[in-house]
Chains A and B, each alone.
Chain A
Amino acid sequence: EAGVTQFPSHSVIEKGQTVTLRCDPISGHDNLYWYRRVMGKEIKFLLHFVKESKQDESGMPNNRFLAERTGGTYSTLKVQPAELEDSGVYFCASSQTSRGPQETQYFGPGTRLLVL
């Protein structure tokens, strides 16, 4: 069974440009999460989808970040325009629904974003 996949693995862009990150969750997982780790600090929650709906977006830093999950399968996270402080590793995770928060979140390898 394929795990959570993320694309690209690395991205280097200039300040002011746009970047779109993609996450493909484990097949059948309705829950999809985005997290971010900036400059060796803690991994921080960004948002949580249940199928195509945003369940919790309390961690989104500002309106330059837009997450979508059309059709309830893969998700994209767009940063527009990117700023220097957006550099970091963006992780996606997915989980099943049956036992709610008790379910294990399975993480992808992350996308390393560097904004110059």
Chain B
Amino acid sequence: AQSVTQLDSQVPVFEEAPVELRCNYSSSVSVYLFWYVQYPNQGLQLLLKYLSGSTLVKGINGFEAEFNKSQTSFHLRKPSVHISDTAEYFCAVSRSNDYKLSFGAGTTVTVRA
């Protein structure tokens, strides 16, 4: 079974500053990797996903993530955040032959002016 670790539970950041959310996973088989965001009072929305190919994945709202197989990481970055990026972010993993997602505990990003 795979597990997902999000190293930071809370990340405060100032508006227009960069942010990086860290995600590490453990799995002995090939995986797919996902980042979801949950805005207040809404469901989870997919930001981006890595299936194969280029290790740098670009998503919605200016986010990108890089898959590093040797370090089993999939860190999420945004060069300049907005107040509207305040949300909880979840890293998730699935085995390439399995539908179920395994989630990390979530990282709450709070953007301040």
Contact = CB atoms under 8 A, between A and B. Distances in A.
Asked whether A and B interact, the reply is: yes
B101 A105 contact: yes
B99 to A, nearest CB: 5
Interface in A37-51: 40-45, 48
B63 to A, nearest CB: 15
Interface residues of B, number: 26
Interface stretch (B17-25, B44-52, B68-76, B78-86): B44-52
Interface in A1-21: 3-4
Contacts of A100: 99
Given A4-B43, A42-B104, A109-B41, A55 B90 contact: no
Interface residues of A, number: 29
B103 A44 contact: yes
A84 to B, nearest CB: 21
A102 B53 CA distance: 13
Nearest to A103: B99
B43 A31 contact: no
A40 B42 CA distance: 16
Nearest to B92: A43
Contacts of A35: 101, 103
Interface of B: 4, 32, 36, 41-46, 49, 51, 90, 92, 94-106
17 contacts: A31-B99, A33-B100, A40-B106, A42-B103, A43-B92, A45-B102, A48-B99, A48-B100, A91-B44, A101-B98, A102-B51, A105-B46, A105-B101, A107-B43, A107-B44, A107-B45, A109-B42
Nearest 5 interchain pairs by C-beta = A107-B44, A43-B103, A45-B100, A107-B43, A109-B43
